[in-house]
Structure 1
C-alpha cells in the first residue's frame, strides 16, 4: 500500500465519519423537536411519558445508525439513571412548568414554554452524549451513566 493510498483511505474514513455524525445530529434535532411538542401537552404526566418515549426512540434510531444492538429495557434503565439524578432544579423546573400549564392565562404560556425548552435541551444533550459514546466504540452495555448524568446536569446548569 502506497502513502497516497493510505492517505486516500484515511480521508475516506474521515468523510464517512463526518457524514455519519451529520446524520446522527439530524436524528437528535428531529427528536428534540418532537420532545418539545410533547412538552406542551396540557395533560400532566402525559408530557413526561411522551418525552421519555421520544428519547427512547431517539436512542433506538442512533443505535441503528451506529450499528449498536438496541434494548428498550436497557435504555429505560439508562435514561432513568441519567435523568433521575439530574440537578433538583431541573426536575423542579419540569414540575413547575407542568403546574403552570394547568393555569389559565399567562401561567399556561409560561408552562408550555418552560417544559418545551427543558425537554428540548434535555433530549438534545442526551442525544449528543449517546453520539459521543457510540463514536467512541461504546454500546448500551457500557454506558457510564454517572458521567452522562454529570454532563447532562452541567449542560442544564449552563442554560439555567
Structure 2
C-alpha cells in the first residue's frame, strides 16, 4: 500500500468514526425523547418499567453501532448498578413516579418531573456507554464504579438537555413533553 493510499484509508476511518459518534448521539437524542414520553405515563411504577425497557433497547442499539456483543441480562445488571448507585436519578424518578398517585395535581406534577428525570437518566446512560464503547470497551469490562462520577455529571447536564428538548418541542408546536 502506498503512502497516499494509507493516508486516504486513515481519513476514511476518521470519517467513519466521526459518523458513528454522530449516529450514536442522534440515537441517544431519540431515546431521551422516548424516555421523556415514557415518563408521561400517568400510572406510577409502569413508567419505571417502561423506562428500563427503553434504556435496555438503547444499549442494544448503541452496542450494535460499535460492534459490541449485547447481553440483555448483563445490560439490565449494568443499568441497575450504575443508576442504582447514583443518588439523584433513582430517587428522583421514584419520588416523581409515586407523586403521580395523588389525584389530579399529582398526575400533572409527577408526569412533568418523571419526564425530565427519565430524559436526564437516559442521556447520562447513553453518554457513559458511548464513551465506554468509543474507547473500545464492552459489557464485560464495564465498571460502574469507575464511571459513576461521570454518570452523575452527565445526569446534571441531561436535566438541562431534557428541559431544552421540552421547550423546543413546545416552541415548534409539536407534541408537548410534560
TM-score, with normalisation over the residues of structure 2?
A: 0.81
Tell me the C-alpha RMSD between the 2 structures.
1.8
Q: Give the conservation status (yes or no) of the 8 Å contact 1:101–1:108.
A: yes
CA distance in 1, matches of 2:86, 2:10: 39
* Structure 1 consecutive aligned stretches of length 4 or more whose deviation exceeds 4 Å: 157-160
Write out aligned runs for 1:123-142 (5 A).
123-142=122-141
Judged with a 3 Å threshold, the aligned counterparts in structure 2 of structure 1 residues 24 and 156 are, in CA distance, closer, same or farther, namely closer
Gaps of 5+ in 1: none
Gaps of 5+ in 2: 161-178
Give the superposition deviation at 1:7.
2.3
Which residue in the other structure is 1:156 paired with? 155
Q: Judge conservation of contact 2:24–2:65 (CA < 8 Å) in 1.
A: yes
Counterparts of 2:154 and 2:89, CA distance in 1: 11
1:32-66, Cα deviation, whole Å (9 max, x unpaired): 11111111111111111100110000000111111
State yes or no: 1:101 paired with 2:128.
Answer: no
1:62 corresponds to which residue?
62
